[in-house]
Structure 1
Amino acid sequence: MRIQDMNWSQVEARVKEDDRCVLPIGSVEQHAYLSLATDTILAERVSVEAAEPLGVPVYPCLPFGMASTFAAFPGTMSLRLRTYLAVIEDLLDSVYRSGFRRILIVNGHGGNTPVNPLLSEWMNAHRDTSVKLHDWWRAPKTMAKVQEIDPAASHASWMENFPWTRIEGAPIPNDRKERIDFAATARVDAWRKRERIAEGNYHGLFQRPDEDMLAIWQVGVEETRHEIEHGWH
């Protein structure tokens, strides 16, 4: 259930019966030939599809994350670490005031994972809560499915090329890209990194058949739903 389809009194009534909610977080950054909002699109969609049968409210995805590594690519948006942590803390405070006590953060961007220490501190200050950070695309079962199909998978490669992350009229190559030198790209600024990674794919094919993508998606939705249902205390 998208919380945008609820009014405030419905939320007030809902939390008296069920104090779970889902907060997706994403990023707007280069994804080679795919949408700049790939991480945001996927985090919100997997959250909504996972939560729908359960009736658990899903907030709109926080679209902006920490993406300084891609700052040289036009269209990329990035928040500073201190800004991002403050935003996440404010959002957690807000859902807490609304009565939610079990909060699943569904993350679509690896660069957002530095929020983990903040979550620990926040729960220490709100001891009646349980917060989980779920990196949906690299959760065990989902990543196992990716590896089963093709272990050469990475940022902006085929593993993020879903029907809903493609850009109409933007051709996608059929070839396979060699693995980038991760160490070399990690020690330089975003502009030199752009020179070294070219269009942005880190490793592997740019696309695979939709049947492969939908198989991964089904596992991702089911695994996210399991996180909503289980393991809170």
Structure 2
Amino acid sequence: MKIAEMNWSQVEAYLKRDDRAVLPLGSTEQHAGLSLSVDSILSEKVALDAAEPLGVPVFPVLAYGITPYFLDYPGSISLRNATYIAIIRDILDGMARQGFKRILICNGHGGNNPAGSLAIEWMADNPGVQVKFHNWWNAPKTFAKVQEIDSVASHASWMENFAWTRLPGVTQPTQRKPMIDLAYMRVLDPAGVRKYLGDGNFGGHYERPDTDMQAIWDVAVAETRALLEEGWA
């Protein structure tokens, strides 16, 4: 259930019977011909689909992340590391104060990994509160399913092309783009990154059949739900 569809008294009542919650993390950045909000859309949806049968509330996705390399693509917004960490810390502080003691961070963007390091530090300062940091797209079972379908998959490629991240009227290229040299890209400034990447896809096909995508999604939802159900101290 969405926090956005609850009022404060409903949350208070929930906290009398359970202390779990999910915080999705996303980004607003280029994804070739897909939505600029791919990472936010996917992290929030996988969190909602996983949490719904359990009745666990999902907070609104934090739709901005750390993505400085894409700043020359219009619509891409990046937060500084210090800003981002401060925001995550404040959110966790607020959740803990209100009684959420088991928090799953469902992350949809690789650049947000500093939030995972923060979670470990934050737990040391907040005994009794547990935080799991979950990169949903490369969690073991989900990534294994991706590799089973097509081993050439990366940013803005077919593996992020779901029915809910596509844009009406946008036709995807039919060719398979060669994989980029990620190490080389990492030494480029934003202008260089755009020149090197072109449309923004890191490599691979641009789309695959919806049956393949649903198979991946089913594994991702189940793997995320298991983290909510199991493994808490």
Q: TM-score, normalised by structure 1?
A: 0.99
User: Which residue matches 1:145?
Assistant: 145
User: Which residue matches 2:98?
Assistant: 98
Moved over 6 A (4+): none
Give, in angstroms, the shift of residue 21 of structure 1: 0.2
Paired AA for residue 210 in structure 1: D
Paired AA for residue 7 in structure 1: N
Paired AA for residue 27 in structure 1: S
In structure 2, C-alpha distance between the alignment counterparts of 1:123 and 1:186, rounded to whole Å: 31
In structure 2, C-alpha distance between the alignment counterparts of 1:135 and 1:182, rounded to whole Å: 19
User: Which residue matches 1:171?
Assistant: 171
**Equivalent residues in 2 for 1:39-188 (5 A)?**
39-188=39-188
Paired AA for residue 206 in structure 1: Y
Give, in angstroms, the shift of residue 117 of structure 1: 2.3
Paired AA for residue 76 in structure 1: S
Give, in angstroms, the shift of residue 185 of structure 1: 0.9
Equivalent pairs counted in the alignment come to: 233
Give, in angstroms, the shift of residue 203 of structure 1: 1.2
**Equivalent residues in 2 for 1:17-28 (5 A)?**
17-28=17-28
In structure 1, C-alpha distance between the alignment counterparts of 2:12 and 2:180, rounded to whole Å: 50
Paired AA for residue 143 in structure 1: F
Name structure 1 gaps, 5 residues minimum.
none
User: Which residue matches 1:215?
Assistant: 215
Is the deviation greater in 44-53 or in 116-125? 116-125
Give, in angstroms, the shift of residue 116 of structure 1: 2.2
SS at match of 1:105: strand
In structure 2, C-alpha distance between the alignment counterparts of 1:181 and 1:124, rounded to whole Å: 38
Alpha-carbon RMSD across the aligned residues, in angstroms, is 0.7
Aligned: 1:199 with 2:202: no
Give, in angstroms, the shift of residue 9 of structure 1: 1.1
Give, in angstroms, the shift of residue 12 of structure 1: 1.1
Give, in angstroms, the shift of residue 17 of structure 1: 1.0
In structure 1, C-alpha distance between the alignment counterparts of 2:174 and 2:163, rounded to whole Å: 16
In structure 2, C-alpha distance between the alignment counterparts of 1:138 and 1:51, rounded to whole Å: 19
Q: TM-score, normalised by structure 2?
A: 0.99
In structure 2, C-alpha distance between the alignment counterparts of 1:155 and 1:4, rounded to whole Å: 29
